[in-house]
């Protein structure tokens, strides 16, 4: 507070500084507010109340935006790495593949085939196998048909056992005997007593059966629960899936059931004797799967499953930069499969061309408007604002009308004789069409910020430069132009941000060569259904836009975004 | 360029006038000539004709006979055009005659310098007018596509192009059938109805929440103001395709895809940045001592808000609301993703129509939309000026 001149040792007497210092030294307690509290505390309380009031006003909107906008964006970011489908659909296979060396390749152990049999069977019953197939098909062509075929043919393996057990004793293909063998007696009673209303009593395994027939019990439990929850049927009336018979065969061939004395023990003992007899026909899981589709013995599918078994994957991001996950690590795709690099380049290139054309067309207009008398400028401003306010679809359809082969521009050129009738220019469904239409659509976004910067440049600078002998060009280039650069910067970033994310206009006038990355995102959402890839492409685009936005904020400031002049 | 400087206006030497007119005539002749088969002949004839006309008008008839000469030129050119090409020729010819009649005197009498400072060199004058012409061309680029749509919407045929009958101004070439289709076809009326059901509700949500938040944001001590502002503005910054993708994923999880409220929520969120920006801009100049004075006199916060603050920021709120309304009314990407067949909005209908190019009813819809946007533009401009006047930022 003090400067050298008023140091107390130099000047004594009632200077303001000395008074302040005296007040600081005086120790007569804190200053009190009217209600007797210390003033500082009182002020703090008021400030806190003010902050709380402000936050309370903002909170509803903030929550609204967070829930209905930020959460969806977060969901998209999550989806770009999320990959739980493989693990969820084929948990046993993923576990069995844990020690499989994908880089070395080769066909995995037999346990893996066994696990795959159970996984595919359950997935097929839940109708999830096609979804997994399409997911893996993004990474390896043919996976989709492999899973679809397997879903249809997977019963063949179990039927081998089912038929033999059924031939031995028809009860093996009946619902009731199975339920008595597997189910808890109290559950059976409850299920029988169930009157069809409310929840079905949940299936429960008999306490000791899991020790005797572990696989069969697990398998039957999955079957029973599925029947109850998904189909709404009673397990007492549904004969089990063939996978249960397969599990039974496995249990009988490995374990000893001679000590079993529970319900239906005679039936089980007979089955055990049948399995032990040499003419019992068996089929290895590996052979069974190979019979359904020989792709199962191709190491490639196992490598793919292994590579995509973690819950989170960088695979979608690698795909969106034309790379792919291989057992050896990320690698570039083949030359002819690279499309996204090209598409990103094209999006950037076209956005730049659009930005530059907007600068070239917008600068003269902004200059003219800011140098005209305000009444004329306001009138001409309407010509800029009218397109700005007109529906985007109206402007896009207008450009379709203008640019097409039988369109207004071609008609005029033909009428003027500049173009032969049979050699009409192709101006639509290519890059040219996209650039022209988008330049028109985004031009107001360039003119408005430029105008607001230029109208603050004082005329006196230009006059001063001229009176000092500068030529017109020097005056413009050395004096006026440097002052208008902030406007160009603001407009360019705005136009660039808007154009790299554009979807509608390229979709309608862009054909195939004039489309942007956003059209590809839309394609993956609605046609190819590769949502993860769409999310990854969207994330990359979002990062680019946010970087540009950050730059815009640094240069212009968010608060200075102006609408409609 | 103050009015005090009087630039002397004098008659230019005939050589200059005839030369400029010959160049202009040659330029016009080039187009007419190519249209008729020979560009070179067109240039020569145009140049010679205009130079001769300039000579006659300037040297023989003089300034005294300006009016009759100009009317005469219009009449002669119009008749020539009519003989040549019927009614379109008549109009084109008339315009040509009017332009050249004016141009001869403008150049010949040196009137082009009237509004310029006297010390400009010839080159600077030329540059001044070339620049104006360039700007004019850019304005034409800006406005032509919107203008072209309007006459085409009255096309009697189902084409997107001008038919010969239309060019001949034959009444048979025009019809209101696309408007009839737009107003009676259930596809379009449903689309309009859906749009009108979604947009006001979305606007209401974004305006009410947005205005409250803008008032909160304009207070002096808001913790994390920049971060909050960034979040609230983000729906405008994030490309629509990304918003649409995210919303599709997220809304399908919570069962909002294909529902009315899903679209309303999405549109409300997209409109919020506009409300925030316009209302905070209005609040920048707001005199807070007014609310304090009201509170001092015993008004409770609600009364203060509605009686003192609201009337002053109302223009900003309404124009923010108009922005939010047009955002929702014009939005297509998000609707394409999270909408459903029963909830087709007007832009959706136009978009699918454009992709499949079914009928020029789109153009009728477009013309109506242009009319609406002109109304909205006018209201926003009026509101903006009113707001500036209320806040004493401009004299009016």
Confidence of residue A558 (pLDDT cuts 50, 70, 90): low
Instruction: For residue A543, count CB atoms less than 10 angstroms from its CB and return exposed for 0-12, middle for 13-18, buried for 19 or more.
Output: exposed
Preferred mutation among A50, A63, A398, A541 to probe B, highest tally of B CBs within 10 A: A398
**Interatomic CA distance for residues A379 and A307, integer angstroms:** 64
Whether residues B239 and A502 touch (CB distance < 8 A) is answered with: yes
Structure confidence at residue A437 (pLDDT): 93
Confidence of residue A560 (pLDDT cuts 50, 70, 90): low
Residue B358 token pair:
């079914």
A-chain residues within 8 Å CB-CB of B326?
A: 389
**Interatomic CA distance for residues B370 and A386, integer angstroms:** 8
CA torsion B342-B343-B345-B350 (nearest 10°) is -40
A-chain residues within 8 Å CB-CB of B291?
A: none
Total residue length of chain A:
565
Count of beta carbons in the 10 Å neighbourhood of residue B253: 12
Question: For B185-390, CATH number?
Answer: 1.10.3720.10
**Interatomic CA distance for residues A349 and A359, integer angstroms:** 15
Whether residues A58 and B213 touch (CB distance < 8 A) is answered with: yes
DSSP state of A139: T
B-chain residues within 8 Å CB-CB of A366?
A: none
**A6 touches A19 (CB < 8 A):** no
Print pLDDT tens along chain B (396 aa).
444 556 677 788 888 888 888 999 888 888 878 777 777 888 888 899 888 888 888 888 877 788 888 888 889 888 988 887 778 788 888 898 899 888 888 888 888 887 787 778 888 889 999 999 999 999 999 999 888 888 888 888 877 777 777 777 778 888 888 899 889 989 899 999 999 999 999 999 999 999 999 989 888 778 888 889 889 988 988 999 999 999 999 999 999 999 999 999 999 999 999 899 888 888 877 788 888 899 899 998 889 888 888 888 888 888 889 889 988 988 999 999 998 888 889 999 889 888 876 677 888 888 988 888 888 888 888 887 777 777 665 443
**A247 touches A216 (CB < 8 A):** yes
**Interatomic CA distance for residues A358 and A441, integer angstroms:** 10
Residue B100 token pair:
């050249």
Cross-strand pairs, A329: A326
Place of tokens 């450009």: A399
Whether residues B35 and A394 touch (CB distance < 8 A) is answered with: no
Structure confidence at residue A107 (pLDDT): 83
Whether residues A542 and B217 touch (CB distance < 8 A) is answered with: no
User: Euclidean distance between the first and final Cα of chain B, in Å?
Assistant: 24
Contacts of A272 (CB under 8 A, 6+ apart): A252, A257, A258
Whether residues A504 and B333 touch (CB distance < 8 A) is answered with: yes
**B43 touches B35 (CB < 8 A):** no
A-chain residues within 8 Å CB-CB of B92?
A: none
**A94 touches B269 (CB < 8 A):** no
**Interatomic CA distance for residues B273 and B233, integer angstroms:** 5
Tens digits of residue pLDDT in A80-138:
998 888 888 899 998 888 888 877 778 888 888 989 999 999 999 888 888 889 888 88
**Interatomic CA distance for residues B357 and B350, integer angstroms:** 9
Instruction: For residue A365, count CB atoms less than 10 angstroms from its CB and return exposed for 0-12, middle for 13-18, buried for 19 or more.
Output: buried
H-run or E-run covering A326? strand A323-326
A421 touches chain B (CB under 8 A): no
Task: List the Cα angle A436/A439/A443 in 5-degree steps.
Answer: 150
**CATH architecture of the domain with range A344-560:** Orthogonal Bundle (1.10)
Cross-strand pairs, A323: A332
Instruction: For residue B322, count CB atoms less than 10 angstroms from its CB and return exposed for 0-12, middle for 13-18, buried for 19 or more.
Output: buried
**B29 touches B46 (CB < 8 A):** yes
Q: Which of A18 and A183 is assigned the larger pLDDT? A: A183
**Interatomic CA distance for residues A322 and A46, integer angstroms:** 58
**Interatomic CA distance for residues A19 and A8, integer angstroms:** 10
Confidence of residue A514 (pLDDT cuts 50, 70, 90): confident
Confidence of residue A564 (pLDDT cuts 50, 70, 90): very low
What residues does each domain of chain B span? 14-119, 185-390
Q: Of A68, A383, A411, which has the smallest distance from its Cβ to B143's Cβ?
A: A383
Whether residues A72 and B278 touch (CB distance < 8 A) is answered with: no
Place of tokens 């007979």: A270
Contacts of B70 (CB under 8 A, 6+ apart): B98, B101, B102, B105
Structure confidence at residue A65 (pLDDT): 94
pTM of the model: 0.82
Whether residues A390 and B370 touch (CB distance < 8 A) is answered with: yes
Residue A278 token pair:
């040499």
User: What does the longest C-alpha to C-alpha distance in chain B come to?
Assistant: 87
Three-state DSSP class for residue A565: coil
**B54 touches B23 (CB < 8 A):** no
Count of beta carbons in the 10 Å neighbourhood of residue A183: 24
B-chain residues within 8 Å CB-CB of A497?
A: 237, 239
**What is the β-pairing status of strands A329-332 and A323-326?**
antiparallel
Three-state DSSP class for residue A325: strand
**B282 touches B313 (CB < 8 A):** yes
Task: Determine the distance in angstroms separating the CA of A538 from the nearest CA of chain B, rounded to an integer.
Answer: 6
Between helix A242-254 and helix A155-168 the angle, nearest 10°, is 70
Whether residues B34 and A417 touch (CB distance < 8 A) is answered with: yes
Whether residues A58 and B217 touch (CB distance < 8 A) is answered with: yes
**Interatomic CA distance for residues A88 and A84, integer angstroms:** 6
**Interatomic CA distance for residues A33 and A26, integer angstroms:** 18
What residues does each domain of chain A span? 1-28, 31-79, 168-279, 344-560
Count of beta carbons in the 10 Å neighbourhood of residue B38: 13
Structure confidence at residue A50 (pLDDT): 85
A-chain residues within 8 Å CB-CB of B280?
A: 559
């Amino acid at each position: 507070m003090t400067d050298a001149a008023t140091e107390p040792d130099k000047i004594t007497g009632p200077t303001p500084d000395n008074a302040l210092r005296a007040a600081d030294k005086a120790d007569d307690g804190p200053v009190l507010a009217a209600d007797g509290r210390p003033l500082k505390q009182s002020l703090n309380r008021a400030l806190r109340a003010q902050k709380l009031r402000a936050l309370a006003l903002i909170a509803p909107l903030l929550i609204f935006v967070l829930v209905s906008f930020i959460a969806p964006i977060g969901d998209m970011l999550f989806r770009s790495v999320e990959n739980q489908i493989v693990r969820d659909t084929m948990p046993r296979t993923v576990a069995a593949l844990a020690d499989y060396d994908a880089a070395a390749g080769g066909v995995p152990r037999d346990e893996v085939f066994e696990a795959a049999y159970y996984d595919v069977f359950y997935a097929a019953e839940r109708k999830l196998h096609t979804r997994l197939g399409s997911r893996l098909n993004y990474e390896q062509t043919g996976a989709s048909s492999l899973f679809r075929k397997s879903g249809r043919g997977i019963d063949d393996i179990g039927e081998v056992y089912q038929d033999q057990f059924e031939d031995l004793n028809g009860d093996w293909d009946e619902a009731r005997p199975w339920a008595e063998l597997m189910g808890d007696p109290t559950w059976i009673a409850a299920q029988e007593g169930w009157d069809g209303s409310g929840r079905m009593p949940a299936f429960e395994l008999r306490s000791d059966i899991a020790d005797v027939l572990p696989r069969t019990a697990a398998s039957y439990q999955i079957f029973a629960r599925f029947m109850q929850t998904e189909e709404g049927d009673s397990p007492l009336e549904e004969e089990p899936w063939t996978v249960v018979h397969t599990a039974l065969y496995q249990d009988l061939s490995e374990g000893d059931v001679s000590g079993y004395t529970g319900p239906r023990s005679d039936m089980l003992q007979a089955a055990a004797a049948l399995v032990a007899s040499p003419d019992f026909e068996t089929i290895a899981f590996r052979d069974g799967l190979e019979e359904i589709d020989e792709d199962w013995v191709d190491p490639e599918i196992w490598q793919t499953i292994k590579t995509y078994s973690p819950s989170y994957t960088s695979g979608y991001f690698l795909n969106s930069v034309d790379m792919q996950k291989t057992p050896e690590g990320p690698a570039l795709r083949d030359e002819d499969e690279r499309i996204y690099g090209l598409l990103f380049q094209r999006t950037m290139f076209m956005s730049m061309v659009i930005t530059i054309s907007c600068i070239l067309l917008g600068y003269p207009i902004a200059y003219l408007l800011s140098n005209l008398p305000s009444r004329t400028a306001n009138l001409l401003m309407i010509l800029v604002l009218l397109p700005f306010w007109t529906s985007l679809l109206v402007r896009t359809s207008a450009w379709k009308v203008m640019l097409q082969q039988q369109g207004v521009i071609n008609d005029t050129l033909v009428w003027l004789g500049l173009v032969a009738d049979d050699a009409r220019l192709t101006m639509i469904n290519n890059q040219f069409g996209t650039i022209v239409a988008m330049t028109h659509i985004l031009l107001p976004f360039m003119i408005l910020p430029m105008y607001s910067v230029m109208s603050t440049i004082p005329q006196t600078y230009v006059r001063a430069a001229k009176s000092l002998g500068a030529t017109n060009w020097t005056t413009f280039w050395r004096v006026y132009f440097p002052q208008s650069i902030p406007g160009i910067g603001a407009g360019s970033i705005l136009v660039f941000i808007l154009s790299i994310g554009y979807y509608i206009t390229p979709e309608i006038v862009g054909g195939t060569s004039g489309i942007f990355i956003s059209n590809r995102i839309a394609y993956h959402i609605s046609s190819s259904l590769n949502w993860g890839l769409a999310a990854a492409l969207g994330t990359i685009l979002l990062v680019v836009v946010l970087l540009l936005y950050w730059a815009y904020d640094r240069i212009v400031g968010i608060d200075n975004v102006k609408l409609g002049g | 360029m103050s009015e005090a400087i009087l630039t002397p206006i004098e008659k230019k030497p005939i050589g200059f006038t005839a030369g400029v007119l010959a160049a202009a005539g040659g330029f016009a002749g080039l187009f007419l000539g190519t249209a008729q088969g020979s560009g070179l002949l067109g240039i020569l004839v145009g140049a010679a004709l205009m130079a001769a006309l300039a000579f006659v008008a300037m040297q023989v008839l003089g300034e005294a006979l300006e009016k009759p000469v100009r009317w005469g030129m219009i009449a002669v050119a119009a008749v020539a055009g009519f003989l040549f090409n019927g009614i379109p020729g008549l109009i084109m010819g008339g315009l040509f005659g009017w332009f050249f009649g004016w141009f001869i005197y403008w150049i010949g009498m040196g009137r082009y310098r009237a509004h310029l400072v006297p010390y400009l060199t010839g080159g600077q004058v030329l540059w001044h007018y070339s620049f104006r012409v360039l700007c004019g061309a850019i304005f034409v680029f800006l406005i032509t596509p919107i203008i072209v749509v309007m006459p085409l919407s009255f096309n009697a045929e189902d084409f997107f192009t001008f038919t010969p009958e239309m060019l001949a101004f034959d009444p048979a070439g025009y019809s209101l059938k696309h408007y009839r289709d737009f107003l009676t076809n259930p596809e379009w009326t449903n689309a309009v109805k859906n749009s009108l059901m979604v947009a006001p509700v979305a606007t209401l949500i974004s305006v009410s929440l947005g205005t409250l938040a803008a008032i909160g944001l304009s207070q002096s001590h808001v913790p994390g103001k920049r971060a909050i502002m960034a979040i609230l503005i983000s729906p405008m910054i994030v490309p629509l395709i990304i918003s649409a993708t995210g919303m599709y994923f997220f809304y399908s999880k919570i069962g909002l895809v294909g529902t009315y409220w899903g679209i309303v929520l999405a549109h409300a969120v997209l409109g919020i940045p506009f409300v925030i920006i316009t209302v905070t801009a209005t609040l920048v100049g707001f005199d807070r001592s007014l609310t304090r004075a009201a509170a001092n006199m015993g008004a409770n916060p609600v009364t203060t808000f509605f009686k003192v603050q609201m009337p002053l920021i109302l223009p900003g709120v309404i124009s923010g609301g108009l922005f939010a309304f047009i955002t929702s009314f014009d939005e297509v990407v998000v609707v394409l993703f999270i909408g459903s067949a029963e909830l087709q909005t007007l832009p959706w209908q136009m978009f699918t129509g454009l992709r499949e190019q079914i009928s020029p009813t789109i153009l009728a819809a477009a013309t109506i939309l242009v009319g609406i946007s002109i109304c909205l533009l006018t209201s926003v401009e009026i509101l903006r000026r009113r707001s500036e006047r209320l806040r004493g930022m401009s004299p009016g």
